Structure 1
């Protein structure tokens, strides 16, 4: 587990199949958890949908799952999606150049920060953070 996550008070973890159904469940279950925490969920739900879909599409290895972790403290909501394709790092595409890769434009627009962490081998984690004080918390 990432050090940034370990320091947060509220935590939610899911391991799901790397399928479209798994990606959909990640968004639905995470949205309900965010509601129970009393946090705004619309922006984070879109980010979770994009990251989980990417894990199920581009990070998929047959028989291997992806993991979603959310954590929150008074200042930050952190979302992490880990898959087993550390050799495939996400690349944000310019609009119109390709049919895929545009989901990261959504992540970039909604999250305050996002990035990728390699490891442990063969995994990678794509993470996004939302500053909570901006939401009037």
Structure 2
């Protein structure tokens, strides 16, 4: 069985309500989009993408929410897959930090940093975009 995923150029973007259900929806939409692009469910690449989207969407809801404002998720596919989650709180920039021993939270950005080839934050008006990039598995 050939498991190589063909290289595509495509984009998916969705505006989502800034709620816990919205964060879950972002994860499910990313998973569905990967399937439409030929990425098998449950492979390491799909799991990494879905985990990153889940973490960034949860952060957008928890730390980037402003009343009446939504967040957006964008997947842009070329030689790399770029994941972008944008929210309305530009002054609250994410900073990875080591959690306290025994902490049950605070690991999200460390997970993103571990799974992504690179990640960062860009300003937008209003707010910010937190992005992560992963090499597309179909790229040699």
- TM-score normalised by L of structure 1: 0.86
Q: Which runs of 5+ in 2 are unaligned?
A: 1-7, 40-44
CA contact 2:99–2:105 (8 Å) conserved in 1: no
Verify: 1:33 aligned to 2:40, yes or no. no
Q: What SS does the aligned partner of 1:88 have? A: coil
Alpha-carbon offset, residue 119 of structure 1: 1.6
Q: Name 2:65's counterpart in structure 1.
A: 60
Q: In 1, distance between residues paired with 2:98 and 2:52?
A: 18
Instruction: Choose the corresponding residue for 1:128, options 128, 132, 140.
Output: 132
- The structural deviation recorded for 1:136 is 5.0
- Structure with the greater alpha carbon radius of gyration: 2
CA RMSD of aligned residues (A): 1.6
| Aligned ranges 1:1-137 → 2 under 5 Å | 9-39=9-39, 40-73=45-78, 75-96=79-100, 100-120=105-125, 122-132=126-136, 135-137=137-139
TM-score by length of 2: 0.84
Counterpart-to-counterpart distance in 2, 1:68 and 1:55 = 10
Shift in alpha-carbon separation, 1:89–1:99, aligned structure 2, 3 A: farther
Paired residues of 1:91 and 1:101 also in contact (CA < 8 A): no
In the TM superposition, residue 93 of structure 1 has moved relative to its aligned partner by: 1.3
In 2, Cα distance between the equivalents of 1:65 and 1:101?
Answer: 23
Number of aligned residue pairs: give it: 126
- Give 4+ residue runs of structure 1 displaced > 6 Å after superposition: none
Distance in 2 (alpha carbons) for counterparts of 1:28 and 1:93: 27
